[in-house]
């Protein structure tokens, strides 16, 4: 393990050195980092574009900044935002390195530069990923990292906002200093939101998710004062230690990924989504074949969830959770197809050496149960 100091300055210095950015401010979570970034750009009531296969925190950060999200489709290879689907230039664009895969930042940056659109690079799920050998997080006006639950460095919560422009620093510093501290009641509200999201998803997973927004959106928009908070200093030790161990963490993930990938390659009707160059294995994602379709995916998902074995089908199009029938529903066919066919398996240290066999055995069982019925 590399030497580390359990201080905010050491963590900020680590991230600045990793990305080559000039400034780094730690905040309570990645959502806060995103909303502060957008707010500091100085507009409100404007469209902010983002890919549609992300967690709800990303569009919520846009709403919290006083703006509204525009959902774009994604590139099937990188699963990152497909800027060719932009119908109009937004006021800002958030490029997300989804599933640990770096998206095509060169192309995205070119489009943003041409349209005069400020770019925010969301590295929440891709700490350690590289583009042409250099860490993600150095492009655009801002970059954002998260140390929240389930991230590459998972410390419960924590986020970082990085940028280069000295003229922005005063504004960011003031906003960071004005953030409230995390309280028990805020945590409870966030837990409640996450539980509601899971319940809605579980209720609608086999059906049409378009009813979900009417229930989820009002609750989600009401939690702003609980979701934006300052860095929680009780996380310093855990984040600093995990950053010092990042290389080891990534190597272990790669080993688990390779073992699981080999096991799954022997099963029919599943295609492992290849990691793109410079990716970090956040999860191992597979797509079930189009012929088998969503019911097969859902059977596998439910089989494991009923047995409390970690697996997910993230991310269904997030617009389903935040748009209501009042607006025209957006159309992002690739994000929708990924949402219908994807399964994500764990490659972090939450799973032990028997996980790959458990997954393969479970999928075979689902296949035989389906053949019998
Ligand atoms: C791509 C992406 N961006 C931002 C966030 C928000 O991070 P946090 O959970 O720390 O608020 C997440 C979290 O789930 C995420 O996956």
> In testing the pocket of ligand 1, which one of 50, 58, 63 has its CB within 8 Å of the most ligand atoms?
58
Name residue, tokens 């410390």. Answer: 155
Does the structure show a pLDDT above 80 at 328?
A: no
Which residue's CA is the closest to the ligand 1 atom numbered 14?
A: 55
Separation of 29 CA from ligand 1 center, angstroms?
A: 8
Tens digit of pLDDT for each residue in 66-104? 999 999 999 999 999 999 999 899 999 999 999 999 999
The domains of the chain are located at 8-185+220-237, 246-372
CB 64 within 8 A of CB 36: no
Determine what percent of the chain is predicted with pLDDT higher than 70.
98
Which residues surround ligand 1 with Cβ inside 6 Å?
29-31, 54-55, 57-58, 96, 122, 124-125, 146, 148, 157, 159
Q: Quick one: how far is CA 315 from the chain centroid? A: 9
Return d(Cα 215, Cα 366) in angstroms, integer. 32
pLDDT of the residue at 202 = 82
Does the structure show a pLDDT above 90 at 213?
A: no
Query: Which positions ≥6 away from 11 have C-beta within 8 Å?
Result: 26, 160, 236, 239, 240, 243
Half-sphere exposure of 140 (CA within 13 A, CB side): 30
Separation of 124 CA from ligand 1 center, angstroms?
A: 5
> In testing the pocket of ligand 1, which one of 93, 121, 125 has its CB within 8 Å of the most ligand atoms?
125
3-state secondary structure of 145: strand
3-state secondary structure of 135: strand
Strand partners, 70: 49
In this prediction, residues 157-173 reach a mean pLDDT of 97
Q: Is the dihedral of CA 366, 367, 368, 373 positive or negative?
A: positive
Mean pLDDT score across all residues of the chain: 95
Does the structure show a pLDDT above 70 at 206?
A: no
Does the structure show a pLDDT above 80 at 351?
A: yes
Separation of 212 CA from ligand 1 center, angstroms?
A: 20
Does the structure show a pLDDT above 60 at 217?
A: yes
Tens digit of pLDDT for each residue in 266-305? 999 999 999 999 999 999 999 999 899 999 999 999 999 9
As assigned by CATH, the class of the 246-372 domain is alpha beta
Residue 225 burial by Cβ neighbours in a 10 Å radius (0-12, 13-18, 19+): exposed
Distances (CA, A) of 260 to 125, 277, 278, 282, 302: 20, 19, 19, 13, 20
Ligand 1 atom closest to Cα of residue 157:
10
Residue 283 has φ and ψ, to the nearest 5°, of -135, 175
Determine what percent of the chain is predicted with pLDDT higher than 90.
90
Length of the chain: 373
Which residue's CA is the closest to the ligand 1 atom numbered 5?
A: 30
pLDDT of the residue at 373 = 80
Tens digit of pLDDT for each residue in 250-264? 999 999 999 999 999
As assigned by CATH, the class of the 8-185+220-237 domain is alpha beta
Does the structure show a pLDDT above 80 at 11?
A: yes
**Residue 212: band (very low, low, confident or very high) from pLDDT cuts 50, 70, 90:** confident
Nearest CA to 173 out of 246, 129, 230 is that of 230
3-state secondary structure of 163: strand
Does the structure show a pLDDT above 80 at 369?
A: yes
DSSP string, 59-71: HHHHHHTT-EEEE
Separation of 277 CA from ligand 1 center, angstroms?
A: 22
Does the structure show a pLDDT above 70 at 186?
A: yes
Rg, the chain, Cα only: 20
Which residue's CA is the closest to the ligand 1 atom numbered 15?
A: 124
For the record, the structure tokens of 67 come out as: 């703006």
Separation of 93 CA from ligand 1 center, angstroms?
A: 16
Residue 129: left if φ>0, alpha if ψ -120 to 50, beta else—which one? beta
CB 26 within 8 A of CB 173: no
Does the structure show a pLDDT above 80 at 208?
A: no
Mark out the alpha helices in 97-165 (DSSP H runs): 105-115
Name residue, tokens 């999860």. Answer: 283
Separation of 108 CA from ligand 1 center, angstroms?
A: 20
Separation of 287 CA from ligand 1 center, angstroms?
A: 23
Tens digit of pLDDT for each residue in 101-122? 999 999 999 999 999 999 999 9
Tens digit of pLDDT for each residue in 29-44? 999 999 999 999 999 9
């Amino acid at each position: 393990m590399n030497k580390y100091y359990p201080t905010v300055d050491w963590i900020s210095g680590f991230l600045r050195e990793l990305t080559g950015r000039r400034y780094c401010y730690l905040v309570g979570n990645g959502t806060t980092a995103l909303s502060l970034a957008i707010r500091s750009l100085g507009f409100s009531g404007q469209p902010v574009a983002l890919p549609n296969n992300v967690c709800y925190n990303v569009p919520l950060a846009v709403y919290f900044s006083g703006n509204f999200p525009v959902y774009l489709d994604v590139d099937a290879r990188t699963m990152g935002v497909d800027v060719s689907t932009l119908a109009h230039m937004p006021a800002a664009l958030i490029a997300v390195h989804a599933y640990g895969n770096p998206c095509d930042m060169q192309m995205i940056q070119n489009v943003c530069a041409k349209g005069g659109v400020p770019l925010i690079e969301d590295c929440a799920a891709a700490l350690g990923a590289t583009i042409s050998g250099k860490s993600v997080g150095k492009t655009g006006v801002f970059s954002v990292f998260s140390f929240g639950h389930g991230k590459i460095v998972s410390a419960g919560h924590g986020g970082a906002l990085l940028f280069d422009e000295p003229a922005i620093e005063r504004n960011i510093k003031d906003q960071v200093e004005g953030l409230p501290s995390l309280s028990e009641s805020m945590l409870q509200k966030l837990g409640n939101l996450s539980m509601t999201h899971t319940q809605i998803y579980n209720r609608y997973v086999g059906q049409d998710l378009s009813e979900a927004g009417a229930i989820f959106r009002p609750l989600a928009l009401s939690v702003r004062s609980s979701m934006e908070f300052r860095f929680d200093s009780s996380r310093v030790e855990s984040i600093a230690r995990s950053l010092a161990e990042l290389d080891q963490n990534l190597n272990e993930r790669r080993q688990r990924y390779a073992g699981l990938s080999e096991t799954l390659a022997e099963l029919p009707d599943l295609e492992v989504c290849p990691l793109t160059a410079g990716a970090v294995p956040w999860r191992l994602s597979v797509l079930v074949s189009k012929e088998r379709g969503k019911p097969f995916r859902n059977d596998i998902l439910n089989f494991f969830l009923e047995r409390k074995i970690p697996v997910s089908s993230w991310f269904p199009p997030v617009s389903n959770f935040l748009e209501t029938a009042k607006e025209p529903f957006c159309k992002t066919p690739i994000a929708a197809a990924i949402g219908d066919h994807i399964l994500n398996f764990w490659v972090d240290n939450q799973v032990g050496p028997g996980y790959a066999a458990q997954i393969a055995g479970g999928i075979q069982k689902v296949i035989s149960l389906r053949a019998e019925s």
